[in-house]
Structure 1
Amino acid sequence: MNFDLTSEQTMIRQTIREFAREEVAPGAVERDRNQQFPREIFQKLAELGMMGLPFPEEYGGAGADTISFAIVTEELSRACASTGITYSAHISLGGAPINMFGTPEQKEKYLVPICTGESLGAFGLTEPNAGSDAGGTKTAAVLDGDEYVINGNKCFITNASFAKHLALTAVTGEKDGEKEISAIIVPTDAEGFTIIKDYEKMGLHASDTTELVLEDVRVGKENLLGKKGEGFKQFLQTLDGGRIGIGAMAVGIAQAAFDKSLQYVKERRQFGKTLSQFQVTQFKMADMAMKIELARNMVYKAAWLKDQGRPFSKEASMCKLFASEICMEITDQAVQLHGGYGYMREYEVERMMRDAKLLEIGEGTSEVQRMVIAREVGCH
């Protein structure tokens, strides 16, 4: 077993760490407060060649691996979780399904703008009545001649305001009494397609979260992604990759909370000593460091398995579940270690705690991850 990063992965980490420190971190507080999307940051990431990182070079990508994607997501999230989730969704939900299931023509038309950063990647899956139970999908696509006519709505969709097109799931028929779900690529400027952005969120204020409304939206049948009726199977595969991104985000936020706490406990004095000299603090910091290290190893292992072309569903669920739960725990401890200051915005750990919560919900809740893991280990 070799735990060393390759020279390419090391270089990517150095580049993105420096970028995150200089370009992303300075405006994080302000963006959170003003709910301001980090548009310029993504233009700069495109110039760095990061927007198509794990996709083939022939479509404008960088041909890098999943571990590199996890590293970039972690480092961006460490500086600003809103930037991290935007990037993770762009790659794993926006670009990945087109890369995995698209025809060469579809990739040329839809993956290239994602890789160049001209369009942000987004994926239309969740609906008001279909979250964990994706079988509850109500959005329907009916074939009319050579076109699909799509009606329905999606909720909690990341990045859609900045996406020129996105893949979404829709019911395209019935088979043996079961809904047949397919994935279709839809341009966001299509007639009848409306993007609504009026959610008030607990955290991740600088990320773009939208509702999509489709009223008689027409797209050519050549926009079908992969085979008809395989949308359900496709998005399960898409979510497996996305879970690695969420795991990496969790590691980044937890690391940031740890860094802030370490700095604080070394400076803050009580009863004639720094907080770091009290054993209770030392034990807390030791536990935090241990859990971050475990979570990072789990994320990298899931990413490595994916890169080897081996099954990784179980490991993706495990890394997402463990990392998101320790992230919530560590950000909570970070606020506690800061005392009254932790509750104040300027110390940033309260933002990290708010941002962390989504990671236990998005891309399959903690409960769903436990169901997946139980099934994978043969308990069903």
Structure 2
Amino acid sequence: MSELATHETSAASFALSAEQEELRSRARALVEREGFAERSLEWEQTGEFPWANVKALAGEGLLATTIPVEHGGNGGSWMEGALVLEEIARACWVTAMASLGEIGVQSQALAAYGSDEVRAKYLPQIASGDLICSVCITEEQAGSDIFSMSTIATDDPDSGEVVVNGGKALISRGDVAGLFVVYVRWSQDPGMRPIGAVLIPRDTPGLTIDEGRETLGGEKLYALSFDTCRIPASYVLARENGFKKMLTAFNGQRCLNAAISVGLAQGAQDAAVAYVKQRVQGGKALAEHQGIQWMIADNEIEIQSARQLVWRAAAAASGGFPNRHDAAIAKVVSNEMALRVTDRVVQLFGGHGWLKEFPAERFLRWARYGPLGGGTPQIQRTAIAREVLK
């Protein structure tokens, strides 16, 4: 194990078990062996889904980290999922986002709330890397205001099927996903009560996906439309009053989003440390200048602090889903930390930080997504304050 990894663990309030240490080391070794960092800019520039990396993760059993053993997975906890995603994000944000659903909320929502048929059919395919899932919440007029969503699901008593109409916007992995976890309304009644979720396979008649929109991080985002999409009743994850259940599952996404922020901040710090040691200015390495040392120290303090909060949220899940309060705190701190750290790293690289051939600029761009996905810091602060004040 590296000196860095040993230092991280010795400082932890949530000490890792020998098995967790081995998992983290195995994830790091695979990421380095497969050249995730070296190909990260390529995935961005081409906009291609990083299938080679995802298949490598599946081959190592890492994509199946949190999937139940009975369905082809390793039965790991949210802590194991956070450890693996941090190591991936340390090298390649594109691949971390590509594997987030399989290690996190999509697979866990299926495992916790899916029918026996759904679990048996889809979870082994997710574990093997043969099936990519996408979660669909956002609509053109319903982002943070989730209660304004208009996609609706209705029961057809004649066929016993569920019919879905509506659309979603800014959806990740629309180009490759074979299964969509779609949040829906079960009636036009206002508020939380009618909101639930269903599964819609890619080949469902009536489902159309647009060509995608370019993003700052290279990943395309897609719009989906549902025109009388018919699915079996067994593909329902949550009916009316199911929003709280699905929101609980989404706490896992917030926790793992935070782990990705910690990972990419650590990757940026690693790159900065290597750079300032070899870059000479004023007759000595940048690392020998006190002002540079303080910037490196500030990064380390913030990364270590955020990591503790992510581990706290993941460890407290105890086999279920992370607590909303803990996950919200971890997400806000980690997202905002990553923005500050990666901004400092660009400054540490100086003019080279502005060049795409150096890693600093891409870490800064990657960090900007964290506060946008999985609930903004503003929404999380509202939830945190309500918990404190109730």
CA drift at 1:89: 2.6
Which residues in structure 2 correspond to 1:59-78 (within 5 Å)?
59-78=71-90
Aligned residue number for residue 81 of structure 1: 93
CA drift at 1:73: 0.4
* 3-state DSSP of counterpart to 2:57: helix
CA separation in 1, counterparts of 2:143 and 2:188?
Answer: 20
Aligned residue number for residue 244 of structure 1: 255
* 3-state DSSP of counterpart to 2:85: helix
CA drift at 1:174: 4.6
Gaps of at least 5 residues in structure 2 are 1-11
For residue 366 of structure 1, what is the amino acid of its counterpart?
A: P
The superposition leaves residues 203-239 of structure 1 with CA deviations (integer Å, 9 ceiling, x where unpaired) of 1x1x45322111111112222113x213421331122
State TM-score, norm by structure 2. 0.92
The superposition leaves residues 14-52 of structure 1 with CA deviations (integer Å, 9 ceiling, x where unpaired) of 111011112112211222222222111111211111222
CA separation in 2, counterparts of 1:22 and 1:308?
Answer: 31
* 3-state DSSP of counterpart to 2:131: coil
Structure 1 stretch 59-68 or stretch 111-120: which is displaced more? 111-120
* 3-state DSSP of counterpart to 1:307: coil
From 117, 134, 152, the equivalent of 2:146 is 134
Indicate whether 1:219 and 2:231 are aligned.
Answer: yes
Contact 2:328/2:380, CA 8 A, preserved across alignment? yes
Structure 1 stretch 365-374 or stretch 29-38: which is displaced more? 29-38
* 3-state DSSP of counterpart to 1:325: helix
Which residues in structure 2 correspond to 1:25-174 (within 5 Å)?
25-145=37-157, 146-174=160-188
Indicate whether 1:181 and 2:192 are aligned.
Answer: no
Aligned residue number for residue 21 of structure 1: 32
Structure 1 stretch 138-147 or stretch 303-312: which is displaced more? 303-312
* 3-state DSSP of counterpart to 1:306: coil
CA separation in 1, counterparts of 2:231 and 2:332?
Answer: 37
CA separation in 1, counterparts of 2:190 and 2:212?
Answer: 39
CA drift at 1:310: 8.2
Identity of aligned residues (%): 33
Gaps of at least 5 residues in structure 1 are none
Aligned residue number for residue 332 of structure 1: 343
Structure 1 stretch 28-37 or stretch 61-70: which is displaced more? 28-37
Indicate whether 1:350 and 2:356 are aligned.
Answer: no
CA drift at 1:293: 0.4
Aligned residue number for residue 282 of structure 1: 293
CA drift at 1:158: 2.0
CA separation in 2, counterparts of 1:75 and 1:181?
Answer: 35
Specify whether residues 178 and 66 from structure 1 end up closer, same or farther in structure 2 by C-alpha distance, changes over 3 A only.
closer
CA drift at 1:135: 0.3
Which residues in structure 2 correspond to 1:262-281 (within 5 Å)?
262-281=273-292
CA separation in 1, counterparts of 2:29 and 2:257?
Answer: 22
Contact 1:241/1:316, CA 8 A, preserved across alignment? yes
RMSD after superposition = 1.8
Contact 1:182/1:230, CA 8 A, preserved across alignment? yes
The superposition leaves residues 130-156 of structure 1 with CA deviations (integer Å, 9 ceiling, x where unpaired) of 111110111111222212221111112
* 3-state DSSP of counterpart to 2:180: strand
Which residues in structure 2 correspond to 1:364-379 (within 5 Å)?
364-378=375-389
CA separation in 2, counterparts of 1:178 and 1:263?
Answer: 50
Indicate whether 1:192 and 2:206 are aligned.
Answer: yes
Number of residue-to-residue matches in the alignment: 376
Structure 1 stretch 243-252 or stretch 3-12: which is displaced more? 3-12
Specify whether residues 96 and 309 from structure 1 end up closer, same or farther in structure 2 by C-alpha distance, changes over 3 A only.
closer
CA separation in 2, counterparts of 1:178 and 1:84?
Answer: 31
CA drift at 1:175: 5.2
CA drift at 1:179: 6.0
CA drift at 1:308: 5.6
Structure 1 stretch 214-223 or stretch 155-164: which is displaced more? 155-164
Indicate whether 1:11 and 2:25 are aligned.
Answer: no
For residue 52 of structure 2, what is the amino acid of its counterpart?
A: E
Aligned residue number for residue 244 of structure 2: 233
CA drift at 1:83: 0.6
CA separation in 1, counterparts of 2:23 and 2:56?
Answer: 15
* 3-state DSSP of counterpart to 1:199: coil
CA separation in 2, counterparts of 1:19 and 1:230?
Answer: 42
Aligned residue number for residue 301 of structure 1: 312
* 3-state DSSP of counterpart to 2:153: strand
CA drift at 1:164: 1.8
* 3-state DSSP of counterpart to 1:79: coil
CA separation in 2, counterparts of 1:10 and 1:197?
Answer: 41
